A and B are shown apart, each in its own frame.
Chain A
Amino acid sequence: MIRLSPPRRVLHAIIGIAGAAGLAELAARAGLVDSEVIPPVSVVLRRAAGLLADAGFGDDVAVTLEGWIAGLLLAVAVGVPAGLVLGQFRALSAAASPLVEFLRTLSPVSLIPLAIVMFPETFQMKVFLTFFAALWPILVNTLYALRDVDPVAKDTLKSFGFGPLSVLWRVSLPSAAPFVMTGVRIAASVGLIVIVSGELLAGDGTGIGGYITETQSSGGHTDLMLAAALWTGVIGVAANSALVRMERRAFRWRAAA
């Protein structure tokens, strides 16, 4: 879907981006900041373009993506059914909520050292961390979404003799799905942050985080470090907009989504 933006807005956006990039470039070129440490924007962009052709970096990106997607899928596979079960029983969900609230404030980042000693295989460690980070937004959103299902629709089906499973499948799940998707989107962005953090600390130099750590220890080329960070941001934005587009297509029938 292409939306035409008013030209004034586009112009302002260009002024903002060009202005910020220009100022940063100028500060580095004019020696206001140490350009060895804070490289000019043009250099970072050139490095970022160069990384595209770098097979080693490509492999690192692939490793990160694999772990990220595996962790997310695992979290969906566990979080959605768990949310559905908890949502069915009011007493259970009331009792589970303090537990869930605590576990979800437990930052996955603090689990990194534990995960590193627990999983000898780095890939498993990363999948576990992503899974743990992604699980709570998905579980909580599923739980809340089920609470908001229109009771009249449920009762109508019930009075027509549909069983509880059938009500779940025909009413609750379709009505909860968009909100669950929002949970998946939040989970994806948190998951990316956590997996890259895990890679920064894993010490085996794989993944985007591993690439950054290795660059740091082999002379500290900040231009390459920033270029890799830039690509991580691009991956996050791309994944988010892909999920939004998927959401729009899948739930076209739901105006509010």
Chain B
Amino acid sequence: MSALVRVLRRAWLVVLVVAAWELWTRYAEEAYFPPPSTILPALRDLWFDGPPSLLFLNETARDDFAASLGHLFGGWLLAGAAGVLVGVLIGRSTTAREVFDPVLEFLRAIPTPTLVPFFIVLFQLGATMQIMTIAFGVIWPVILNTADGVRGVDRLQLETAQVFGLGPVRRLVEIVLPAALPKIFAGLRVSLSFALILMVIAELVGSTSGIGAQLINAEHSFELPTMWAVIVFLGVLGFLFNGVLLLIERRFLGWHAGARQTAS
């Protein structure tokens, strides 16, 4: 019962806003603001009128999602791997940090969307351009967080390990990386939400397939309900990604003393 009250206490405004939106848009009949009862069917018609065995995904959805999410996770994983590598390198050595920090800060300061046209010339239109745009844009939080986490490793633990004869590789794998894990994870979570944004912008600027391309198609054919449907879907996707990563973080890093401060 108290759980129900708690849910109601948090949900009433959402219900109220959606209801008000429905009522107002029906009353106003403004073409730019379709009611939710029009947006949801548009979303179904666009992607979700497929067979139940395929989670209702239709053919368009299977193509679009495979392309977009493939680029998204491709770029994110690439940035994750490279970012952890560079982050460990920079975090372990003060000299390396002092040498690379200014260069990294400089590259990080350039807004990635302004580089999309350059990446289009460099990689041509296609998967490589999309993946590289995402990877370039989201690598910075991973590098910075990894370096930060690695720097915070307990010196005593490292020296103890050295006394016990653990080599540098084992020290890295068994002490440094586990200690830095919560920070690395927080960096990856921030990166994933950036990756979604960059996926959309890269597809809006230069692509004919994928989720962002549907948005452009809807713009050109003035299909406002479809446009709203894609926007809502992207919002839900962002919400889910963040939620899933938080869940993984709590599930697997719950034991970690350093995990509590980064989980929010």
Contacts and interface: CB of A to CB of B under 8 A. Distances in A.
| A and B part of one assembly | yes
Nearest to B33: A118
A128 B228 CA distance: 17
B224 A117 contact: yes
Given A16-B103, A105-B242, A201-B205, A99 B111 contact: no
Given A95-B11, A110-B231, A216 B114 contact: no
A98 B11 contact: yes
B238 interface: yes
Contacts of B247: none
Given A9-B98, A107-B197, A107-B234, A230 B110 contact: yes
A15 B99 contact: yes
A56 interface: no
B175 interface: no
Interface stretch (A72-80, A159-167, A232-240, A246-254): A232-240
A254 B113 CA distance: 36
B113 A98 contact: no
B67 interface: no
B77 interface: no
B257 interface: no
Interface string A78-110: 000000000000011011111101110111011
Nearest to B235: A106
B163 interface: no
Interface stretch (B45-53, B142-150, B214-222): B214-222
Contact of A196 (B114, B120, B222): B114
A228 B114 contact: yes
Contact of B201 (A101, A105, A117, A197): A197
B204 A236 contact: no
Interface of B is mostly: helix
Contacts of B139: none
A208 interface: yes
Contacts of A233: 106, 109-111
Interface in B193-236: 193, 196-197, 200-201, 204-205, 212, 215-216, 218-219, 222, 224, 227-228, 230-231, 234-235
Interface of A: 8-9, 12-13, 15-17, 19-20, 37-38, 91-92, 94-99, 101-103, 105-107, 109-114, 116-118, 192-193, 196-197, 200-201, 208-209, 212-213, 215-216, 220, 222, 225-226, 228-230, 232-234, 236-237
24 contacts: A12-B99, A13-B99, A17-B103, A37-B121, A101-B239, A105-B239, A105-B242, A106-B231, A110-B230, A114-B219, A114-B227, A117-B219, A117-B224, A193-B111, A193-B112, A200-B114, A200-B205, A201-B205, A216-B121, A222-B121, A229-B118, A232-B114, A233-B109, A233-B110
Given A13-B102, A111-B231, 9 more contacts: A95-B9, A97-B10, A102-B239, A107-B197, A109-B197, A114-B231, A200-B114, A222-B121, A229-B110
